[in-house]
Amino acid sequence: MIKNIAVLGAGTMGHGIAETFAMYGFSVNLYETSEKIRNSVMSIIKGELDFAAENELIDKSEVNGIINNIKLFSDLKSAVENADYVIEATPEILELKQNLFRELDGYCKKEAILASNTSSLALNEMMKLVSDERKKRMIVCHWYNPAHLMPIAELSFFGNMNEVTFKEVEALYSKIGKQTVKVLKDVPGLVANRIQQGVAREVFSLIEMGVASPKDIDKALKFGPAFRYATTGQLEVADMGGLDIWCTVGDNLLSVMDNRTEANPILRKKVEEGKLGLKSGEGFFEYTNEASQNFKNDFNKRLIIQLKTSKNYI
Ligand SMILES: NC(=O)c1ccc[n+]([C@@H]2O[C@H](COP(=O)([O-])OP(=O)(O)OC[C@H]3O[C@@H](n4cnc5c(N)ncnc54)[C@H](O)[C@@H]3O)[C@@H](O)[C@H]2O)c1
């Protein structure tokens, strides 16, 4: 049974992954190479937990206990030697992950399961330097940002791992409140990111063509398709509308919609101009410092409301 967790990398994803396991009572060793990040990460986690308590996702009295479940490490071996499940959320660099897994293979118990939160690297490539026995206990577990609020985890089942071990990981993720998606083929982007890019491609294209203002295009998404998607999947929506209708509309629309195979030029232009979104104060919309903090808080608040509501639709 998986009891002890180790999370490697305490950046955007790693801190939230550690926080989630700790919220559900797991003892978590959090390993981070950067001293600067080690010095700031616990206050970031505390801030998120306080916010979750203010918004009644957890009880205020739980915050200290959750924080005490997380231990910070600067030494890899001591962070992972007792772990039953290790997940890395280190930078998306193949060589770094290959070497990390090679080291882990040596440091971890033989029955430990090693996971990667990679967004785009192939499992086969990442596990190139580990023993054949360990390859049977390696998996991609892809979280969404913010990790402690987004309820999805995509789990790879690419043929290297047996069903019993997979079920162990699946059960672990159910215990921490995640909806798991069993991904059967090692395709770039897995499932959720590919769906998201499909939508994003058309959104950027509509802006490029000037079909509506950026604000109205986001509005069309929020109060149109995405309003249903929060509780109802695309295939359920198609079944409800009638597959004959979806077939006809597909024939009529898909040939005139965007099918380019690279990022939209308006996106590239914004990047060249340094308009990167919240972090630079301007993207498709403009943000003052204060507006940017309010935007993040509102975003998290809405996710918490959805998280609480969606429990009724599972
Ligand atoms: N950011 C996202 O929205 C997102 C979503 C899903 C998956 N991912 C994936 O998660 C992984 C991490 O992404 P992120 O956005 O959290 O990156 P990040 O840059 O915010 O964090 C990475 C952390 O790893 C630390 N680090 C660097 N080398 C290390 C090492 N050898 N051992 C331990 N820690 C090390 C860095 O100091 C940093 O704190 C990537 O594989 C990424 O593709 C990211």
Q: Are residues 165 and 20 in the same domain?
A: yes
Q: Are residues 64 and 212 in the same domain?
A: no
Tell me the two tokens of residue 101: 């897994």
Q: What is the domain range of residue 298?
A: 274-305
* Residue 294, domain member (yes or no): yes
Query: What is the Cα gyration radius of the chain?
Result: 21
Atom 28 in ligand 1: residue holding the nearest Cα: 90
CA distance 34 to 167: 34
Measured CA angle at 119 (ends 161, 95), to 5 deg: 80
When pLDDT is averaged across residues 126-130 and rounded to a whole number, the result is 98
pLDDT digits (tens, 9 = 90+) for 262-285: 999 999 999 999 999 999 999 999
Say if CB 46 and CB 67 are below 8 A apart: yes
Q: Are residues 249 and 112 in the same domain?
A: no
When pLDDT is averaged across residues 115-142 and rounded to a whole number, the result is 97
Q: What is the CATH number of the domain that holds 214?
A: 1.10.1040.10
Q: What is the CATH number of the domain that holds 82?
A: 3.40.50.720
pLDDT digits (tens, 9 = 90+) for 69-126: 999 999 999 999 999 999 999 999 999 999 999 999 999 999 999 999 999 999 999 9
Distances 271 to 189, 211, 279, 310 between C-alpha atoms, Å? 22, 22, 12, 35
Q: Are residues 223 and 280 in the same domain?
A: no
Q: What is the pTM of this model?
A: 0.96
Site to probe by mutation for ligand 1, drawn from 12, 20, 99, 145 as the one with most ligand atoms within 8 Å of Cβ, is 12
What is the CB < 6 Å shell around ligand 1? Answer: 8-14, 31-34, 37, 89-92, 96, 100, 117-119, 142-143, 145
Number of compact structural domains in the chain: 3
Within 13 Å, how many C-alpha atoms sit on residue 31's CB side? 20
Tell me the two tokens of residue 278: 């919240």
Q: Are residues 280 and 209 in the same domain?
A: no
* Residue 38, domain member (yes or no): yes
Say if CB 180 and CB 173 are below 8 A apart: yes
Q: How far is the CA of 220 from the centre of ligand 1 (A)?
A: 33
Q: How far is the CA of 213 from the centre of ligand 1 (A)?
A: 34
Q: How far is the CA of 146 from the centre of ligand 1 (A)?
A: 13
Q: How far is the CA of 257 from the centre of ligand 1 (A)?
A: 34
pLDDT at 261 > cutoff 80: yes
Q: How far is the CA of 93 from the centre of ligand 1 (A)?
A: 9
Q: Give the model's pLDDT for residue 311.
A: 78
